[in-house]
Structure 1
Amino acid sequence: MNADGVTREMGHRISGHRDRFKVLFEDYFRSLRRTADVPTLSRFVPEALDRVEELALRGGKRQRVAFVYEAMNLAPSTGSQVAVDTAALSIELLQAHLLIHDDIIDDAPTRRGGPSTYYAYRAALPERPQHALGLALLAGDLALALSLQVIADAPLPASLAQSMTQCQVTAAASTFRGQIFDLERDFLGVPDTNVLHAVCDFKAARSSALAPIQLGLLAAGQDPCEHDASLRRYAWAFGVSGQMRDDYLSLFGDEKVTGKPATADVRDGRITYLIRTVLLAASASEREVLESVLGRTDASEADVDAVRQIIRDHRADRTLLADMGCHAEIASREAATWSGWGEAEAVAFFRDVPVWGIERLL
């Protein structure tokens, strides 16, 4: 199948999972409304639930959900629909937590085409900025607790519930460590590529790729530890390729499609894969321009365009796209080795989805 065919097939498969999950997620929040233990006199607690629900249902591509369901199909299943649905709900509630806190850390005004939870609170409480910050933090914490509670409340065997909980706790802790390291790398000047790879692994790959596959296998009654090394190699390569794509889109993407401003990384001064490449290639005068713009919150669109032009002049964007493709190919080759134990259709999904990850939005 050619790249266009793969992209269409992956889009079809993932949209199918996304559409089915949308109904499940909406039902979950309706049920939560009926059963949540909320102080009867509180206005802010129901509002926090509203904000978590609003961000969660605003949705994204639901790649993690697709990974959960496709991983369940990798091997003959002794699991149940309840188990895999619980895993999908948990992974998306954890994602809501991570997004809420990530937007606080980055002071990001938008997420998924709408206001971030933090900025929604800031708009609602303009005279109480500290309360807005605190409420956004707590809404994120609430989403994290819900991601574990959904497993605890599900009618699952105790051993399975324990394994799923351990998987999610591990994924969350890895992401927190990655977030800390991500902030640290801003103190390191122009970081080594291995630093960027490590940040990506801890901050993104383990929660966005590894954990969903592990949860899907657990839901199927399989032990993901039997394939641990290969799953980690796949998740790492897929995650790095995806981060490179996001770095590219952060400067060259369509804001209406990505849901995020295409100036954020420049104004935040983030040394991404793309910015690192151009900093190392730039002449002294170009580097002076780059350093005068990076990290300036008041950088104009013309300033950001100047950064884009320097990137194009050194073909750093082309270099990044090539590196992105190489890592996607590493992930694809790793998934192809699963044919020795995995079902053909699901193996093909994990083999081909890295290509979809590159082609999507580019």
Structure 2
Amino acid sequence: MTQTAEMTDSSLPHRPVLDPNSGLRAIDDATTDLELVEEVLTAHFRGHALTLNKVGAELTPAADAIAARIGGGKRLRAAFCLWGARGAAHGRSVPGVVELASAIELFHFAALVHDDVMDDSDTRRGLPTIHRLFADTHRAVGRRGDSDTWGTAVAILVGDMCLSWSDDLVAAAVDTVDRHTRQAVRETWTEMRDEAYAGQYLDMLSQTEDHTDPDRTERVLRYKSARYSIGQPLRLGGTLAGADAALLADYDRIGISAGEAFQLRDDILGVFGDEKITGKPAIDDIREGKRTMLMALAEESATWTERRIIANCLGNPDLDAAGAAQMRDVVESTGALERVEQRIVELAEDALAVVADASVDELTRQALTSLVERCVWRRS
């Protein structure tokens, strides 16, 4: 990862120092922008948890489950939003951007809760998924009804609550801005949500088919991940800060290239990742039948025997470790892994070239460079 040098900025009360691990400016000697995001998320959730617990002690397990999972994570989307705003504001802090970055993270948390239900995943970030946690508890105490149905129902409610709470944070973020900016932020927020939902639908649809549709795979890559993970967070921060059309166009270009690289890396980790680092079994994507670019390229170059292995393993819910190992061998032997790695390099170079020429201050440029590199070369 690129190490960033200490710089000064007379517009800020403290020396802006980049944390090489987070890529974020220090607000003071002990606090960074991302730490403020954590504080806002925690405070926002606690306010809603008080209401839940006031209704009755029966809601406490749901509140506790959210509390145990809402903190942490990579916070890359929040970081891109924060730096998108600072880039548009020439390095200055932008009122409301911490709340906006927090809204993105809360929306993402809700999406993960629902995504885990759709994928029937057992773990997320090293913890049981929400639906699995409540299904297991239901089963353990011997409640009436189907345990898995109960777990799914609770996860849907938890995800819905967090989605609505994320909208509350967006409203707080734009509370003091002018009407034009407020409308522009809301329009971008709405577009981000709709594209993410559409990408998820296409991803699920692909898992119902026997062969990979390359065009659909590209669209899933773009809308479920690239624009959602990087492009739209950058644009949201930039829009809140009043970015001009040229800078927003640069943010879009960075988002597409770096965002696609981010998802391609995620696809590789989903098959070859270390569970101890990723917090999720590397067999899940194969069992779920994820029609990723990695799988599309493997199918394209596979021999007849290799195609049989792909057909038998991809989307097989009963796949064991030996079958997963066979799939990994096919992905490597067909050259699919090497081709995806090369594509990641090309996309990263494209994104970094746009960052290098963007009309932002040098500190923002260094931060965006660091963040793009984190997306591309991460291990979790």
Residues 328 and 354 in structure 1, CA contact (< 8 A), matched pair in contact too: yes
Distance 2:53 2:245 in 1: 42
Residues 4 and 366 in structure 2, CA contact (< 8 A), matched pair in contact too: no
What secondary structure is seen at the aligned counterpart in 2 of 1:74? helix
> Which residue of 272, 293, 301 corresponds with 1:252?
272
Shift in Å at residue 252 of structure 1? 1.3
Per-residue displacement from partner, 1:214-233 (whole Å, max 9, x unpaired)?
222234x3136453433222
1:106 equivalent in alignment to 2:119: yes
Gap change, CA 1:345 and 1:263, over 3 Å in 2: same
Shift in Å at residue 164 of structure 1? 3.3
Give the alignment's TM-score, normalised by structure 2. Answer: 0.83
1:135 equivalent in alignment to 2:154: yes
Aligned length in residues:
355
1:88 equivalent in alignment to 2:101: yes
Where structure 2 has 5 or more consecutive residues not aligned to the other structure, the ranges are 6-17, 140-145
Between the aligned residues of both structures, percent identity stands at: 25
1:12 equivalent in alignment to 2:21: yes
Per-residue displacement from partner, 1:263-293 (whole Å, max 9, x unpaired)?
1111112221112111121111121122112
> Which residue of 112, 115, 119 corresponds with 2:132?
119
Per-residue displacement from partner, 1:156-175 (whole Å, max 9, x unpaired)?
33535444333322211111
What secondary structure is seen at the aligned counterpart in 2 of 1:250? helix
1:353 equivalent in alignment to 2:367: no
What secondary structure is seen at the aligned counterpart in 1 of 2:73? coil
> Which residue of 267, 284, 291 corresponds with 1:271?
291
Per-residue displacement from partner, 1:76-111 (whole Å, max 9, x unpaired)?
359755412111211111111111111111111111
Gap change, CA 1:7 and 1:309, over 3 Å in 2: farther
Distance 1:102 1:125 in 2: 21
Distance 1:211 1:16 in 2: 21
What is the aligned-residue RMSD (CA, Å)? 2.8
Residues 10 and 353 in structure 1, CA contact (< 8 A), matched pair in contact too: no
Distance 1:170 1:110 in 2: 29
What's 1:316 paired with?
A: 336
1:212 equivalent in alignment to 2:221: no
Distance 1:194 1:46 in 2: 45
Distance 1:7 1:116 in 2: 37
What secondary structure is seen at the aligned counterpart in 2 of 1:88? helix
Within-5 A mapping of 1:154-303:
156-157=176-177, 159=179, 160-219=181-240, 221-223=241-243, 225-303=245-323
Residues 55 and 117 in structure 1, CA contact (< 8 A), matched pair in contact too: no
The one-letter code of the counterpart of 2:203 is D
Residues 110 and 160 in structure 2, CA contact (< 8 A), matched pair in contact too: yes
More helix by percentage = 1
Distance 2:172 2:83 in 1: 24
Gap change, CA 1:175 and 1:31, over 3 Å in 2: closer
Where structure 1 has 5 or more consecutive residues not aligned to the other structure, the ranges are none
> Which residue of 142, 153, 163 corresponds with 1:144?
163
The one-letter code of the counterpart of 1:14 is G
The one-letter code of the counterpart of 1:343 is D
> Which residue of 87, 110, 119 corresponds with 1:97?
110
The one-letter code of the counterpart of 1:122 is A
